Amino acid sequence: MPAIQWEAPLAPWAVVNTHSHREEIALENLKRQNFIAYCPMIRRPRSNGRRIATVMRPLFPSYLFVSTGTHFGRWKPILSTYGVRSVVRNGQQIATIDHDFIAHLRAREVDGVIVRPSEPYRIGQSVAIAEGPFGGLMATIIDMNENDRIVVLLDLMNRRTSVSLSIDQVTAA
């Protein structure tokens, strides 16, 4: 996707729903109409036969954001923009996202792609479970996934058991 021009005012951003896999088309057409639009991208692995390639995909599939600052008194043209399905609303009001949320996303971008922060934990690390039914027990991380979940190995009643937990439920030992 082309570089984004960031002269957006500190106004909230409207949430726009796009047709499936048409985020780039909607983004281009909104920019042609002088809207300030943003579609955060991430890198995802994609397998094609035996090869695994890394491709850029939207962080929020089928959604992008439009600044409500400049030209937003005329938001109806967004609805007829090629690639746009609708503007997300709360009843009759347009649903908006705070400018700070978009600024935080932009701060995590490297070369136009949002990068994950470094993991606070690693496989093999010992952790203490802070809350939940296993609170206070020690465990070893054996797996991690993208959804901020980790799998730990616990020693319960002289038996090793694996348990899936949220990253928020553990602290470094």
Domain 126-172 in this protein, CATH class: mainly beta
Residue 119 vs residue 25, higher pLDDT: 25
The pTM for the full model equals 0.65
The predicted pLDDT at position 3 comes to 47
Cα-based torsion angle of the residue sequence 15, 21, 27, 33 in order, rounded to the nearest 10 degrees: -90
User: What are the φ and ψ backbone dihedral angles of 6, each rounded to 5 degrees?
Assistant: -110, 75
Residue 169 has pLDDT above 60, yes or no: yes
170 neighbors 161 (Cβ within 8 angstroms): no
pLDDT by residue (tens digit) across 66-80?
998 865 677 788 999
The predicted pLDDT at position 115 comes to 80
CATH superfamily, domain 13-114, is NusG, N-terminal domain (3.30.70.940)
Q: For the chain, what is the mean pLDDT?
A: 85
DSSP one-letter code for 36: -
Return the structure tokens found at 71.
């030209």
The predicted pLDDT at position 104 comes to 87
141 neighbors 123 (Cβ within 8 angstroms): yes
Which amino acid appears at position 130 of this protein?
A
Residue 2 has pLDDT above 50, yes or no: no
Give the start-to-end residue ranges of the domains of the chain. 13-114, 126-172
Task: Give the C-alpha separation, 67 to 46, whole Å.
Answer: 31
**Of 5-19, 22-36, 83-97, where does mean pLDDT reach its minimum?**
5-19
* Mean pLDDT on 89-116: 87
The predicted pLDDT at position 166 comes to 82
Task: Give the C-alpha separation, 69 to 36, whole Å.
Answer: 9
User: What are the φ and ψ backbone dihedral angles of 109, each rounded to 5 degrees?
Assistant: -80, 140
For the sheet with 149-156, list strands across it.
Answer: 159-166, 149-156, 138-144, 126-129, 170-172
Bridging pattern class, strands 84-87 and 13-18: antiparallel
Residue 119 neighbours by CB under 8 Å, 6+ apart: 144
**Of 51-65, 88-102, 154-168, where does mean pLDDT reach its minimum?**
154-168
pLDDT by residue (tens digit) across 16-57?
999 999 999 999 999 999 889 999 998 888 888 888 888 899
- % of the chain at pLDDT higher than 70: 89
Helix (H) or strand (E) holding 43: strand 41-48
